[in-house]
Structure 1
Amino acid sequence: MSKFNIDNDAIRQLAELLDETNLTEIEVADGDNKIRVARQGVTYAAPAPMAAPAGAAPVAAGPAAGDLSAHPGCVKSPMVGVVYFAPEPGAAPFISTGATVAEGQTLMLIEAMKTFNPIRAPKAGKISQIVATDGNPVEYDEPLVIIE
C-alpha cells in the first residue's frame, strides 16, 4: 500500500472553490487517493411558493422551520446526513405524529458517511410534529421533530 501524501495547498484550493461556488462538498480522486472537503451548517433557501391556479382557494402556509427551531420541544439534527424513520425499508417507523415517546427512545436514524446514527428523544413526551422527511437530507441544527 502506498503512503498517501496530504497536499495542504490542494485542500486549501478545494475549500476556496467551495466558497466561490457555494457548493457544500467536493471530492477529487487520483487513482486510489481521494480528498473530500465538506462544509457543515449550510442552509438552503426554500424555493418560492407556486401561485395557486385561478379559482383555487388559497392555502395557509405552515410555520417556517426557523420558527420551529426556537420551540422548547424541538429536536434538532446533530449532524448533516439523510433521515430515516425506520430501521430498514418496509419496517415500522420509530415514531409517528401523536405517539408518546420515552426519554432516550430512538426517534430516527441519520445516515452520515455510511454510518446510521440513532437520534434519541432528549425528553419524554408526545410527538406533536414531524418536520423532517424520510429519506431526505438534513443539515446541522435543522429541526427534526417537536416533542410536547
Structure 2
Amino acid sequence: MSAGGHSDEVLDGLRRHARKLVADLRGPLRRVRLRSGETVLEVEWHDPAEAVAVPRTDPVPGAGPVAETVPGPDRLAVRAPVVGTFYRAPEPGAAPFVAVGDPVRPGQVVGIVEAMKLMNEVTAGQAGRVVEVLVEDGKPVEYDQPLLALEPLAGQGD
C-alpha cells in the first residue's frame, strides 16, 4: 500500500474516532485533536451559545449575493461554528430545519455545517423568529459568518 493510501486510512480512522467522541460527549466542545503517528486531526469550533446581537457590519467579501444582507442592530444572527459547507436540511431532499417566519428557541438546531466530513450542528443561541436566511443551502461559509437573521421574540422569557 502506498504511503498516501495508508495516510488516508489513518485519517479516516481519526475522523471516525472524532465523530464518536463528539457524539458521546455532547458537551460544548471547542477543540478535538487526535493523533496517530505523524497524522493529526484537529477540529475547532466556537460555542453557539456565544451568538449575540450582531452590530451592523459590511457584507462579507466574495460571499455571493445571498450573504450581502447582514442583520441590523435590532436583529440577532446565528453564525457558522466552523469553516465548511452550510446545509439547511438534515439530508438532501428533506425539509429545512427552519424557514423564514419560524420561531426558534435557544439550543434549537437550525442547520448544519459540514467540515472535514463531520456534521456540526448549528444552533440558535437565543429565542427569535427567522426573518432571513443569509446563506444558500450547500454554499461554503467562513467561521463566524452570519447564516440566519433572527428577530427577537417580544415578551418571551426563553
Q: CA deviation at 1:45?
A: 3.3
Please tell me the residue identity of whatever aligns with 2:138. G
Q: Note the 1:96-115 alignment, pairs <5 A.
A: 96-115=99-118
- Is this contact kept in 1: 2:78–2:123, CA < 8 A? no
Please tell me the residue identity of whatever aligns with 1:32. H
Task: State the alpha-carbon separation in 2 of the partners of residues 120 and 108 from structure 1.
Answer: 7
Q: How many residues align?
A: 102
Partner of 1:58: none
Task: State the alpha-carbon separation in 1 of the partners of residues 84 and 132 from structure 2.
Answer: 20
Q: CA deviation at 1:89?
A: 1.1
Is 1:147 the counterpart of 2:150 in the alignment? yes
Please tell me the residue identity of whatever aligns with 1:45. G
1:20-69 deviation line (CA, Å, top 9, x unaligned) = xxxxxxxxx74534789xxx9xx75367xxxxxxxxxxxxx98845x438
Is 1:135 the counterpart of 2:138 in the alignment? yes
Please tell me the residue identity of whatever aligns with 1:143. P
Is 1:32 the counterpart of 2:9 in the alignment? no
Is 1:78 the counterpart of 2:52 in the alignment? no
Please tell me the root mean square deviation across aligned C-alpha atoms, in Å. Answer: 3.3
Q: Percent identity?
A: 39
Mark the runs of 5 or more structure 1 residues left unpaired by the alignment. Answer: 2-28, 48-60
- Pair 1:75–1:95, CA change in 2 (3 A): same
Q: CA deviation at 1:107?
A: 0.3
1:62-94 deviation line (CA, Å, top 9, x unaligned) = 8845x4386650111121010111111111110
Mark the runs of 5 or more structure 2 residues left unpaired by the alignment. Answer: 9-38, 45-59, 152-158
- Is this contact kept in 1: 2:133–2:147, CA < 8 A? yes
- Is this contact kept in 2: 1:69–1:143, CA < 8 A? no
Task: State the alpha-carbon separation in 2 of the partners of residues 63 and 135 from structure 1.
Answer: 13
More helix by share: 2
- Pair 1:112–1:62, CA change in 2 (3 A): closer
TM-score (norm 2): 0.53
Larger Rg: 1
Is 1:126 the counterpart of 2:129 in the alignment? yes
- Pair 1:64–1:89, CA change in 2 (3 A): closer
